[in-house]
Amino acid sequence: VKQLEEADRLLLRRKLSHLAGLTYLLLLFHASSLYGVWKVSLALTSFVLSASAFYTAYEILKVEGKPLRRLQRLWRLLGSPEGETVQEYWNACWFGLSITLTLLISLLLGDLSLTYIAGSAVILGDGFSGLTGYFLGKHKITFNPSKTLEGAVAGFLAAFLGGFLFTGNPMLSLLGALTGSAVELYPSKLPDNLTITLTVTLILLLAKILGGIFP
């Protein structure tokens, strides 16, 4: 029983640190009106790339048999103890790199709404569906028993609301939230943060190319 409680606490911490990804979008949203989109994007991109490089260096040190204990304690604090849930602690890097890819594509297109909607789908959608599923989840989804109907609905609503508040574009936010929820429900071994962000970006890109939805 004690072990289960420990696992639950870690899950909650992980989901809460997941929601901290929202600072990326908020920074982009507020700081870009102060300092300009290009400067803020450059700062965010540099930060994510250096953080990923740092993390990869840490992993190499660990393989070499020189783990950094303080960082291991930090991962545990953030909800991902090493050795137990091996896949989890890569997720921060996957999130950073895939949202940066979306941001760079948005900059190429000259339209940041792609980043806001894809970001909302992965941060708010995934975070809220996890939390709601954990607290209120009753009805398991038949083709993916680790997800619940309540979680899926909450995730969809949060993703839609987030995207809409950032961009003010209801159609595009709806499309992004729907795609994000669908990818989230699909049982896959690939990291959620990567698959959701990239799929939503791709679908929104297609919507933009095919036209009609973007103003």
Residues that bind other proteins (CB under 8 A): 42, 45, 48-49, 52-53, 56, 59-60, 62-63, 86-87, 90, 93-94, 97-98, 100-101, 104-105, 107-108
Contacts of 74 (CB under 8 A, 6+ apart): none
Angle between helices 113-120 and 170-185 (to 10 degrees): 40
Residues 28 and 44 sit within 8 Å (Cβ to Cβ): yes
SS3 93: helix
* CB closer to other proteins out of 98 and 181: 98
Minimum CB separation of residue 8 from other proteins in Å reads 25
Q: How far is CA 188 from CA 96, 98, 130, 191, 209, in A?
A: 20, 17, 16, 8, 28
Distance between alpha carbon 154 and the CA centroid of its chain, in Å?
Answer: 15
Minimum CB separation of residue 144 from other proteins in Å reads 22
- Retrieve residue 66's tokens: 């020189």
* CB closer to other proteins out of 31 and 107: 107
* CB closer to other proteins out of 16 and 51: 51
Residue with tokens 């900059």: 107
* CB closer to other proteins out of 121 and 194: 194
* CB closer to other proteins out of 98 and 148: 98
Minimum CB separation of residue 60 from other proteins in Å reads 8
Residues 203 and 179 sit within 8 Å (Cβ to Cβ): yes
Minimum CB separation of residue 21 from other proteins in Å reads 17
